[in-house]
């Protein structure tokens, strides 16, 4: 049953910069690269893709959900850096159910995607340098969590309003 919903402010969330299209997910063979793990290989179809990018941002996220021919689900999260200096982060994992996919996306901690760019025991670093590095790293962690949370919220909001 489709639930008719409204929002307290109907204007909220309607943005011209959102491009939502229907995906025709043909059955295919997929090999998803993973950092530190063997690639995840399966046959199935892509269920959705979500990506957001704001000009000037140093990185952005893309997430995908697949359904395998074995009746399971696969979620993947890719982090791209604009300048190419940071390594792309690629995560993919298998879920037994659709609910597990939703839970895993809601619980994904994008802060873990931020790499450590300095060694805290470097004797050449002053206390001020350390503080500056710590501040910058904290900002990057918060930004990664914020970007990913926004993207997940955008996807779930679109699905919820269908």
47 to 106, contacts with another protein by CB under 8 A?
Answer: 47-58, 60, 65, 67, 80-85, 88, 98-99, 102, 106
- Between the alpha carbon of residue 44 and those of residues 41, 101, 102, 132, the distances in Å are 10, 15, 18, 46
Task: Name every residue whose Cβ is closer than 8 Å to that of residue 113 and which is 6 or more positions away in sequence.
Answer: 79, 89, 144
Considering only residues 119 through 138, tell me which ones interact with another protein, judged by CB under 8 A.
none
The nearest distance, CB 66 to another protein, in angstroms, is 10
* Cα Rg of the chain (Å, integer): 19
Q: Which is nearer to another protein, 116 or 121 (CB)?
A: 116
The nearest distance, CB 119 to another protein, in angstroms, is 21
Q: Which is nearer to another protein, 21 or 38 (CB)?
A: 21
**Contact range with another protein by CB under 8 A, out of 9-17, 31-39, 115-123, 127-135:** 9-17
Q: Which is nearer to another protein, 38 or 59 (CB)?
A: 59
The dihedral through the CA atoms of 104, 97, 154, 78 has a sign that is positive
Is 157 near another protein (CB under 8 A)?
A: yes
The nearest distance, CB 34 to another protein, in angstroms, is 19
What is the total residue count of the chain? 162
- Between the alpha carbon of residue 34 and those of residues 39, 56, 58, 142, the distances in Å are 5, 27, 22, 23
Is 2 near another protein (CB under 8 A)?
A: yes
Contact between 76 and 63 under an 8 Å Cβ cutoff? The reply is yes
Is 46 near another protein (CB under 8 A)?
A: yes
């Amino acid at each position: 049953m489709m639930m008719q919903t409204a929002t307290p402010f109907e204007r909220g969330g309607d943005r011209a910069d959102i491009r939502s299209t229907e995906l025709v997910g043909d059955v295919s063979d997929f090999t998803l690269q993973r950092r530190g793990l063997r690639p995840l290989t399966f046959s199935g179809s892509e269920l959705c893709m979500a990506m957001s990018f704001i000009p000037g941002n140093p990185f952005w996220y893309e997430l995908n959900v697949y359904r395998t021919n074995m009746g399971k689900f696969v979620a993947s999260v890719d982090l791209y850096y604009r300048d190419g200096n940071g390594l792309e982060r690629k995560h993919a994992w298998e879920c037994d159910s659709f609910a597990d996919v939703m839970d895993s996306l809601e619980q994904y901690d994008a802060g873990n995607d931020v790499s450590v760019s300095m060694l805290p025991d470097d004797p050449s670093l002053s206390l001020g340098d350390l503080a500056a590095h710590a501040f910058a790293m904290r900002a990057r962690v918060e930004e990664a969590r914020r970007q990913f949370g926004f993207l997940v919220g955008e996807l779930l909001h679109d699905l919820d309003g269908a």
